[in-house]
Structure 1
């Protein structure tokens, strides 16, 4: 567990498929949960037990109020569309806006992205590219962060509640239970061994883990100063990145 206990966590993407499960899991672990929602009246019945904060993740000012006083942030957001502007503003923009809102304050962060962000071709290339850019921004911030790349979402039976944490982003099409994803994200902000780790998450045969610390401890940490995760392929040159991304990274890393 963490040497600096987490008491209050903000969930961004709280009303989504994984976000709802994250809220429930965090509450089960005794955390005070704050949920960022666009419509608090509609979300009341969806997120029982959470404190609702109305706001839009594409506006940094809204996140400034939401992060006040929290010890950790879990991001499960994702764009509902596939237009370039939607992907930039949501999948990437939420991370950028969170860092602006924190204004240098150090909190634990767990970011959910996806397997295959290292791919440079395919039907979901734009989605994965913007998710990877969000990962890079979070690493550049130097915050105590964990990046979780789940496999294909599923609801699995009791015989497949064990988890496999892997690195290198080489598996395709393998599944993970949505409840496992939520638990991994909550455990990530509660466990020091998860800090600085990027991993893919899949279901495996067996019972659910009783202790996540050995699972996190067995992973290689992201290299200090690297924009990519441990064992990621260096196939996204910074020189070819959009101007906004380069500017954001330069600001965080102090490059001229």
Structure 2
């Protein structure tokens, strides 16, 4: 399953967030049937379009997710946790959703962040948010599912005429400031949705920024210009190998083993 075209049904995880709600809108406008995973139905009803089907669940509780993923052709992750929630939310949402799928096919688009591969001090290895975001990427790559991983720059720091999208690879912009790149939330949503229906986007990881100029109407050439991630690698094709698996938390290594052995899920 290299592409998922409308009117397929997709699930949005993080649907009520600042990017997630735009993903819901863009997906509906593109002709998808949209299922939104939410914790608070009443709040979600005030935020999301009425055309979206609301599924109540908690990304930190695997047992609440099977109904959400049942029958979906694609999943878009735009979630993010607060302080101290990286392990349970930023990583846990991907972990639990993949396990809830139980080996069933789905096309996945995952939003993480530019600079996610920046080296982490050993003393903060388990606490640092970007470490858990990177682990969510690694787990998705190991799952064998078709995917696109989007690492956006700073949200909505772009100027009024700064909408020409640029896809980068290698994650070399690591200042932790808007100098690393900026992009509009709406355009992040558009790229995530477009990746589902693009065969050229399969198994691609990219940093997403915008430069001066008009937005492109066709994103396939941008996806096609990227190198694919190796099928046997945990990290993206041009990422630096600076997070040895042997030094990763035992819980992650156990998850990795489980995701690569479908019979044990």
TM-score over 0.5 for the alignment?
yes
- Partner residue, 2:42: 41
Determine which of 204, 218, 223 is the counterpart of 1:216.
Answer: 223
Question: 1:206: Cα distance to partner?
Answer: 1.7
Per-residue deviation, 1:234: 0.4
Q: Which residue of the partner structure matches residue 18 of structure 2?
A: 17
Q: Aligned match of 2:240 in 228, 233, 248?
A: 233
Aligned to 2:97: 98
SS in structure 1 of the partner of residue 86 of structure 2: helix
Indicate how the Cα distance of structure 1 residues 201 and 3 shifts in structure 2: closer, same or farther if over 3 A, else same: closer
| 1:47-105 C-alpha deviation (Å, 9 max, x unpaired) | 01211111111111221100111110000011112x2xx21111111111011110001
The answer to whether the 8 Å contact 1:25/1:183 transfers is: yes
Q: Are 1:132 and 2:134 matched, yes or no?
A: yes
Alpha-carbon separation, structure 2, partners of 1:209 and 1:27: 20
SS of structure 2 residue aligned to 1:147 = strand
Equivalent residue runs for 1:190-209 within 5 Å:
190-209=197-216
Query: 1:113 matched to which residue of 2?
Result: 112
Q: 3-state SS of the aligned residue for 2:108?
A: strand
CA distance in 1, matches of 2:246, 2:26: 40
Instruction: Tell me how far apart the structure 1 counterparts of residues 130 and 76 of structure 2 sit (CA, whole Å).
Output: 19
Matched pairs, number? 251
Q: CA deviation at 1:156?
A: 3.8
Q: In structure 2, what is the Cα distance between the partners aligned to 1:168 and 1:73? A: 24
Structure 1 residue 158 displacement after superposition: 4.8
Cα distance, 1:208 vs structure 2: 1.4
With over 3 angstroms needed to count, the CA separation of the structure-2 counterparts of 1:27 and 1:77, relative to structure 1, is same
User: d(CA) in 1 for partners of 2:34 and 2:160?
Assistant: 27
What is the TM-score normalised by the length of structure 1?
A: 0.93
- 2:83 matched to 1:52? no
SS at match of 2:207: strand
Q: Identify unmatched segments of 5+ residues in structure 2.
A: 175-179
Deviation at 1:5, TM superposition (A): 2.6
Residues 3 and 42 of structure 1: is their aligned pair in 2 closer, same or farther, counting only changes over 3 Å?
Answer: closer
TM-score (norm 2): 0.90
Offset of 1:250 from its aligned partner? 1.5
Q: Distance in 1 between matches of 2:255 and 2:202?
A: 22
Q: Residue 149 of structure 1 aligns with which residue?
A: 151
Is residue 4–residue 196 contact of structure 2 (8 Å, CA) maintained in 1?
Answer: no
What is aligned with 1:166? 168
